[in-house]
Amino acid sequence: MFPQTEMLDLVIVDGYAKGIITRSLRSGKIDAHAAEAVVLATGGYGNVFYLSTNARGCNVTATYRAYKRGALFADPAFTQIHPTCIPVSGEHQSKLTLMSESLRNDGRVWVPKRQGDRDKVPGEIPEADRDYYLERKYPSYGNLAPRDISSRAAKEVCDEGRGVGPGGRGVYLDFADAIKRLGEHTIRERYGNLFEVYEKITGEDAYKVPMRIYPAVHYTMGGLWVDYDLMSNVPGLFVIGEANFSDHGANRLGASALMQGLADGYFILPNTLPNYLAAQMGKRPSPDSPEFRGAEADVRARIEKLLKINGSRSIDSFHRELGLLLWDKCGMSRHEKGLREALQEIPELREQFWRDVRVPGSDEDFNQSLERAGRVADFLEFAELMCMDALERDESCGAHFREEHQTPEGEALRDDENHAAVFAWEFQGAGQPPRLHREPLHFETVHLTQRSYK
């Protein structure tokens, strides 16, 4: 075990994944690790948006390093936005907090019908002046409508100027009816820990006033392409969990990430990896081989370049600017104009980063600034790939909602004839556009249809 260590590159020997280059987060020491195979279980890339429900340490570096060594990156634009999160409270924030989706079992989601009521105390707004918009729009599912639909509906009412709380970016999740029907004791039994977390963060008692919630980035369905054995197109590189693209398609269902983690880690990989290793035993290269020395030299050169910039802007200022740009242009909804604008602005921001970022400290010590700088540098490249993918997929599909493609009721409108495929991107070298591979999707038992939650 190598705790507090991050992977900074993948080593390819004669076309096979044969090891990794790592850096100790405590000492800064760079090491080469040789193996018969490599398994990536490094999670998703939701923090490319800066604000997300993910842990602060979550990043794209391991999978993006593998992509730049030849692994295909599939469907990077598929990002799940969770509807039940505590809203942003100010620019000082670096993370958002998820409130369990279970709250929507008993909580009712609403906003004022009139813009002029949004600053009123919620208890002063009579029932007749409240818009329970999920119940209105989706009577069959109500407050339990799927995550992507519930998130877009919240954005829609806030864009109309009816959002509540600071900045008007919030909707109410109200338990008054449930408490009246079931009693406060029952609600405490079901959600007491969540109410306690909410009160600690907001200072508000959700037993007495409605919670305020708003959508936030939560999960990424895209990831490195893998086959049914969980091996990427690079022989010997296996990818499991949120780091790969499989299982979820364009719209992960609740608890499916746990399902995938269990299936990949407990059932699939223990059976497929040994089959691959059987033919690789005795073929472990030396960590002193030219391939390892070359990869280590690349890592050291990149670190040295970051430390030498000595600019005037903080790492977080670049990350925050990138996150806001992506949220606006490639977030809950996207459109061609915005995506093309993002594809112009991201390279400009990346150029500014490499010219003006300030990374204090040294590489031979505990240096969290250097950690973050490397991750933000990768985010600044990966964000461009996300927007390319979102632009190329000229349809709406699950969590990928292109505003040009929606039904008269405002729901996602797919183009199965032209886009029922996995989009897998291949790195073609620095400064070159990636190559797109389309893997057609075939449905033999359950056929594609237009979903409806009316």
Q: Of all residues in the chain, what percent carry a pLDDT higher than 90?
A: 91
Reading phi first (left if > 0) and then psi (alpha if -120 to 50, else beta), residue 410 is in: left
CATH number, span 82-218: 3.90.700.10
CATH number, span 5-78+221-440: 3.50.50.60
Read off the tokens for 87.
């809203």
Rounded average pLDDT over 246-256: 85
Task: Round the average pLDDT of the chain to a whole number and report it.
Answer: 96
Per-residue pLDDT band for 109 (boundaries 50, 70, 90) equals: very high
Per-residue pLDDT band for 252 (boundaries 50, 70, 90) equals: confident
The answer to whether 46 touches 217, Cβ cutoff 8 Å, is yes
The answer to whether 299 touches 8, Cβ cutoff 8 Å, is yes
pLDDT at 236: 98
Segment (H or E) for 424: strand 421-426
Dump pLDDT digits (tens) for 13-58.
999 999 999 999 999 999 999 999 999 999 999 999 999 999 999 9
In 3D, which of 13, 136, 51 has the Cα closest to residue 331? 51
* Cα distances (Å, whole numbers) of residue 133 to 138, 143, 151, 163, 332: 8, 9, 12, 12, 18
DSSP 332: S
Whether pLDDT at 254 is above 80: no
| Burial class for 101, CB neighbours closer than 10 Å (0-12, 13-18, 19+) | middle
| Burial class for 281, CB neighbours closer than 10 Å (0-12, 13-18, 19+) | exposed
At residue 275, the 3 state secondary structure works out as: helix
pLDDT at 322: 98
The answer to whether 234 touches 247, Cβ cutoff 8 Å, is no
For the chain, the farthest-separated pair of C-alpha atoms sits apart, in whole angstroms, at 75
Residue type, 41: A
Dump pLDDT digits (tens) for 153-191.
999 999 999 999 988 999 999 999 999 999 999 999 999
What is the C-alpha R_g of the chain?
Answer: 23
**Other CB atoms within 10 Å distance of the CB of residue 19:** 27
Catalytic annotation, pick one of 104, 108, 147, 372: 147
Reading phi first (left if > 0) and then psi (alpha if -120 to 50, else beta), residue 43 is in: left
Break the chain into its structural domains and give their ranges: 5-78+221-440, 82-218
At residue 141, the 3 state secondary structure works out as: coil
Segment (H or E) for 9: strand 5-13
Between strands 237-239 and 38-40, the pairing is parallel
pLDDT at 257: 86
**Cα gap 273→278, rounded to integer Å:** 9
Q: What is the pTM of this model?
A: 0.96
DSSP notation for 202-219 = H---TTTS-EEEEEEEEE
pLDDT at 68: 98
Rounded average pLDDT over 188-203: 96
Q: Which residues contact 17 (CB under 8 A, 6 or more apart)?
A: 10, 11, 37, 38, 232, 234, 235, 236, 237
Give residue 43's Cα distance to chain centre: 9
Rounded average pLDDT over 267-275: 97
pLDDT at 409: 85
Read off the tokens for 113.
């019908």
Q: How many residues does the chain have?
A: 454
* 26 given a catalytic annotation: no
**Cα gap 384→353, rounded to integer Å:** 15
pLDDT at 184: 97
**Other CB atoms within 10 Å distance of the CB of residue 392:** 14
E-assigned strand segments in 25-170: 30-34, 38-40, 73-74, 79-85, 108-112, 130-131
Q: Which residue has the tokens 């969770």?
A: 82
**Cα gap 322→381, rounded to integer Å:** 11
**Cα gap 438→443, rounded to integer Å:** 16
